[in-house]
A and B are shown apart, each in its own frame.
Chain A
Amino acid sequence: MSKLTATPLTADNALFEVENVSRRAFLKQFGIGSTALVLATTIPGFSPLLAAEVTRNGQLDKAQHALNFFVSIDTDGRTSIVCHRSEMGQGVKTSVPQIVAEELNADWQQVYAVQGQADHRYGPQGTAGSASIRKQYTKMRKVGAAARQMLEQAAANHWQVPVADVSAKEHFVINNASGDKLGFGELAKAASKLTPPADDAITLKHAKDFILIGKDVELFDQHDMIAGKAIYAQDIQLPDMLIASIARPPVIGGKVSSFDASEALKVRGVVKVIELKARSMPVSVLPLGGIAVLATNTWAAHEGKKRLKIEWQHGEHAVLNTETLQQQLIKTVSNKGDVARTKGDVYSHSYDQENTLEATYSMPYQNHSPMETPSATATVKGSGKDLTCTIWAGTQNPQWAQGLVATELGIKKEQVELNITLMGGAFGRKSKGDFIVEAVELARQVAKPVKVVWTREDDIKHGFYHSISANYLKAELSDEQGADFWIQRLANPPIGWLFDGKKKSLSTGDLSVGFGDTPFEMANMSLESHKADSHVRPGWVRGVAALNNSFALGSFVDELADKAGISTQQMWLKLIGSDRHVDLKKEGFDYGNYGSGFDTHPVDTKRMKACINHLCEQANTAQPQPKNQGWGIGFLRSFGSYVAAATKVNVENGKVTVLEMHCAIDCGVAITPDRVKAQMEGAMVFGLSIVLMGGITVKNGQVEQSNFHDAMVTRINQSPKMFVHIIESNEAPGGVGEPGVPPIIPSITNAIFKASGVRVRHLPVNKQLKV
């Protein structure tokens, strides 16, 4: 058996006893938290930094010593490192400890990952925007280095030598002069009593000395996943627990007019039917209301729900028809919009019609459809001031959910204990706390643990969708720069509407995701956006706005190349122009840069061109293709990383077969290269789903799809051979989860054009061709 995973939720302790998975047990097991002896000061980004000595299971010989809030070491050397971000398949529960262990100079075989609970003391825990490693890299290195320096200091004190004369190596501290060594376990107790080093006294390794960073270690949970033992949100079982299946309003903002639960209550196992609180719009990320059927088993809950008779009052959002909305958005972008970024003058220019191209692209709503539908389990105990709530959920944003629950119950955040399970996929869906609040609302009423389980139909019909969009582009060819007099427009319902029920305009933040940062060197440019109204909940889906923006940009560059009679690669290189760091602020656009600094994550055109060239070389896209076959490429810098994609397809008798896909990524330092590779493979499959068959349509405010037969996703027979090319780099790490998907989208449609001459400007492809 490979390494055990030291989570508070294992198959052995989670299934039968509430107390075994409680915070108390967590503390007992890992010695991190409020019972710890606080000795230390703070370092920036993490406060307080705890140093502690506690016992585990009352065994003094198993004493565990916390060096800080993330690292604690047993006397036998076993080292527990907290991952404060949530695992959804991206590998963060392994890569965060990997970074800490690198600077700690720990022996990886003695390192165990601990999933942190929701706790503000970890700093931000939202696992989204491909930000965990991108924004936490240096902080996590400092956490490891600070702990290492405490161990070194403890050893130096023991030998009564200056700390400069000792060094930590592979779980030991060595006396450089004598060659004596002390194990981390032997030093842990003394080290835990030391004051952690101040921020400016923390020393980090040189990249050339990295042992763990850049190494393909195995995921901590891999063994359990393959053995069927890994615990996801839906796997939580508690004594006396009821399972809830909820019928939600088919139109958002809809209300229950009346309902009859008599047939539902006849189902064996159904114990109660509860009407959820009707909430007024905007519901934000709170529940939609509806009727919950609670049963002693999951099947009975779902069967009971099917037997409910509910009269709905649909409300104002029943007006939405996506077919009409798509046409409206397409029409809208033919007009000038609100200017987000401009240089030169595109409107006084007299366009040479022969050399001018304009095109409009559109993409429908997209659902996340993680394999594990949303699920959360909650218990609510006590009353008044003593009310406490314990939750087990797969959530990408634990502290947000904790806050929502605290507000719901009228208690303090600290009274809400939120345990984070593995997520069976998330892709942005599980950033929202709606399903967690549903479980809390019901648990409070029945005074028993309640697990809310969404069916696939619930997931597809009540999602937070990537917004429907239309993008318009116009430009005139130019020999030198590829093109000039560039107009780029976008219309889509903004995510901001979710929170105020009003917003129609895209924010600078929205426009920073693959739209306002078009890195082209031409002299004349106008980037504009339009207002759009929402009638379903918009949300962040893997790749976010870069999905449709990259589809439009990558397609248009390909169309320009075709018109100019040059390769798409050449057109990209010409448009990007000289080597430089693009300063968008100079052009009046307050580019968000995904929350990263321009010092660590500049908009570097040299890296863009290198990435495109590397891709084309590796995939050999220039090689002539047989009849009916062709290569397409796409490129985008997003979430701090540079990704280029190439797809080869065959199109015959109106049927598209994807033959081969390549992806080149420059994400700076790759912590676990094999997981970067895995994310790119996943991005290619996710991109195929969106392009070939993806799309949620709405009629009279109600989503038309219901399960995988009509909300299709890529299957193995549609998934070609894939190749990932990681560009070696010591630059600051960029994102990996999200930036793969956007450039893949146009690579597929461009390949279809090369193979068949059919230009797909409106997704999905299966509306035009067989897939």
Chain B
Amino acid sequence: MITLNINNTAVSLDVDPNMPLLYALRDELNLTGTKFGCGMGQCGACTVHVDGQAMRSCITPVSVLTDKKVTTIEGLDPAHNHPIQISWREYKVPQCGYCQAGQIMSASALLNTNPKPSDGDIDTYMSGNICRCGTYNRIKKAIHSAAQGNSHE
């Protein structure tokens, strides 16, 4: 049994310790907000926070997470009103919506470390998250908008 802290809840998992977190979340815990996109850390659809840092859950075995805090899209904000989520709604970012959980988790992790990122900072940080629908312009605008909110705090 492996015990993980997911969204501030302790959960016990009876799985192969090598199982990447993504599959544990989706198949064992019914937390399907985190998505599969490539299985090799290329696209960012599976991004979660581990101790506040963005991490690709499709290549992170559950065994390395036992003393860490994992946050998924479901746990980012209890009312789904994290500043990035508010901003995402305001700019109507999603098209198909599939990659957006990963985009939101990356964007919120970016703001954790860099509260007022430049365009270049966003390009660098967010280039690991693919959106095939092409919502990049709105992602950039929404991050800047949420960052503006940060400066008023």
Contact = CB atoms under 8 A, between A and B. Distances in A.
Interface of A: 1-2, 11, 15-16, 87-91, 216, 218-219, 221-232, 234-235, 237, 243, 268-269, 296-300, 302, 369-373, 422-427, 453, 455-456, 674, 678-679, 681-686, 707-709, 713-717, 719, 721-722
Nearest to A243: B27
A724 to B, nearest CB: 10
Contact of B129 (A89, A453, A716): A716
A679 B95 CA distance: 8
B149 interface: no
A299 B20 contact: yes
B96 A422 contact: yes
A423 B96 contact: yes
Contacts of B133: 89, 371, 425, 678, 682, 685
Given A1-B79, A371-B45, A714-B134, 11 more contacts: A11-B32, A89-B133, A232-B35, A232-B98, A370-B132, A371-B35, A371-B96, A424-B35, A456-B43, A681-B137, A716-B140
Given A228-B101, A302-B39, A297 B19 contact: yes
Contact of B85 (A89, A227, A369): A227
Contacts of A716: 122-123, 126-127, 129, 131, 136, 139-140
B28 interface: yes
Contacts of B37: 371-373, 456
Given A226-B88, A299-B20, A715-B127, A682 B135 contact: yes
25 contacts: A216-B92, A228-B33, A228-B34, A230-B97, A234-B32, A234-B36, A237-B32, A297-B23, A298-B26, A298-B27, A299-B16, A370-B98, A372-B36, A456-B39, A679-B95, A681-B137, A683-B134, A707-B40, A708-B42, A716-B122, A716-B131, A716-B136, A716-B139, A716-B140, A717-B127
A228 B30 contact: no
Interface string B32-63: 11111111101101000000000000000000
A11 to B, nearest CB: 8
A301 to B, nearest CB: 10
The dominant DSSP class at the B interface is loop
B98 A674 contact: no
Contacts of A427: 132
A59 B16 CA distance: 47
B80 A713 contact: no
B64 interface: no
Looking at B36, B40, B85, B138, the one whose CB has the most chain A CB atoms below 10 A away is B36
A678 B96 CA distance: 11
Looking at B73, B85, B94, the one whose CB has the most chain A CB atoms below 10 A away is B94
Interface of B: 15-16, 19-20, 22-23, 26-28, 30-40, 42-43, 45, 72-74, 79-80, 85, 88-89, 92-101, 104, 122-124, 126-127, 129-140
A450 to B, nearest CB: 14
B40 A424 contact: no
B30 A237 contact: yes
Contacts of A456: 37-40, 42-43
Contacts of B16: 268-269, 299-300
A226 B100 contact: yes
Given A225-B97, A371-B131, A708-B130, A719 B92 contact: no
Contact of B123 (A227, A369, A717): A717
Contact of B132 (A219, A302, A425, A684): A425
A226 B96 CA distance: 11
A15 B138 contact: no
A235 B16 CA distance: 21
B65 to A, nearest CB: 15
A226 B85 contact: yes
Nearest to B139: A716
Contacts of B98: 232, 370-372, 422-425
Given A709-B42, A713-B130, A722 B137 contact: yes
Contacts of A681: 134-135, 137-138
Given A89-B97, A456-B39, A682-B134, A297 B28 contact: yes
Contact of B92 (A15, A222, A269, A682): A222
Nearest to A708: B42
Looking at B34, B79, B80, B133, the one whose CB has the most chain A CB atoms below 10 A away is B133
Nearest to A234: B36
B99 A371 contact: yes
Contacts of A2: 89
Contacts of A302: 39
A260 to B, nearest CB: 22
A316 B85 CA distance: 52
A222 B97 contact: yes
B123 A234 contact: no
Contacts of B32: 11, 15, 228, 231, 234-235, 237
B94 A222 contact: yes
A422 B101 CA distance: 15
Contacts of B135: 678, 681-682
Nearest to B42: A708
B39 A226 contact: no
A424 B134 contact: no
Contacts of B80: 1, 223, 226-227
A556 to B, nearest CB: 27
A256 B79 CA distance: 51
Contact of A371 (B89, B123, B130): B130
Nearest to A679: B95
A455 B39 contact: yes
The 9 closest A-B pairs by CB, nearest first: A228-B33, A685-B134, A424-B98, A89-B96, A225-B97, A228-B73, A682-B134, A89-B95, A299-B23
Contact of B23 (A268, A298, A425): A298
Contact of A15 (B30, B88, B129): B30
Contact of A425 (B20, B96, B104): B96
A438 B79 CA distance: 39
A60 to B, nearest CB: 34
A280 B110 CA distance: 52
Given A427-B132, A674-B92, A686-B134, A221 B39 contact: no
Contact of A225 (B26, B43, B94): B94
Nearest to B95: A89
Contact of B36 (A237, A370, A453): A453
Contacts of A370: 96, 98, 132
Nearest to A15: B30
Nearest to B102: A371
Contacts of A373: 36-37
A717 B45 CA distance: 17
Contacts of A678: 92, 95, 133, 135, 138
B134 A422 contact: no
Nearest to A232: B98
Nearest to B77: A227
A455 B23 CA distance: 13
A227 B97 contact: no
Contacts of A679: 95
Contacts of A686: 132, 134
B146 to A, nearest CB: 12
B20 A719 contact: no
Nearest to B72: A228
B97 A221 contact: yes
B20 A219 contact: no
Contacts of B129: 715-716
A268 to B, nearest CB: 5
A756 to B, nearest CB: 23
Contacts of A296: 27
Contacts of B26: 234-235, 298
